[in-house]
Structure 1
């Protein structure tokens, strides 16, 4: 059984933690990880992002196979960890205290 499309199989170790179906689950994962763990994920996925986007652009978004959906969710997680890794240098938004936000809509896929 394929977990990710063939060209992206080396990213499979990140699927269990990061290919979550909802933004809230991905955000909860971000908050549960250390900045070093976020960095490992970011460093593995970011260099492959453009290639993954090009791969997904060749598919019909309404009929993505499960392995392509997982790849898309890894990209969603990449977006979620980019600021913490590159700007905040911590999983949480600095100086936000106990503030939080609720997701009111999810991406279509």
Structure 2
């Protein structure tokens, strides 16, 4: 198998590969910026694709050392992080941004250890 044909996600999760480029981002800020760049239809499509697979993805990742994830599993973990971030927009706010927050924002100075 050549580098060009290497799978982006682990076996059993390959149907989620169309979301990797936009959503398997390394930082929370990048994921939040992506959420803000999408409309609610796009966020809903992403959420509806990932959410039903979340428990299986977590079970798969739980079998591995999180400090030494292979790239496909790291991308899967980042998709889960994005799903969590998008879930607020889809299920709570019903819009990409946080309502009634004005110009308030926060910067994440340190990413969670993975």
Identify the TM-score tier after normalising by the shorter chain.
over 0.9
- 1:75 maps to what in 2? 80
Using the TM superposition, give the Cα deviation of residue 44 of structure 1 relative to its aligned residue in structure 2, in angstroms: 0.1
The answer for the alignment partner of 1:3 in structure 2 is 8
**Rounded Cα–Cα distance in structure 2 between residues aligned with 1:93 and 1:72:** 24
- Superposition deviation, residue 61 in structure 1: 0.8
TM-score, normalisation: structure 1: 0.98
Deviating 4+ runs (over 6 angstroms)? none
Q: Compute the TM-score of the two structures, normalised by the length of structure 2.
A: 0.93
Out of 97, 109, 113, the position equivalent to 1:92 is 97
Alpha-carbon separation, structure 2, partners of 1:61 and 1:76: 14
Structure 1 unaligned runs (5+)?
none
Q: How many pairs were matched up? A: 109
- The Cα RMSD (Å) is 0.6
Distance 2:92 2:105 in 1: 19
1:42 to 2:47 alignment:
yes
The residue that corresponds to 2:57 in the other structure is 52
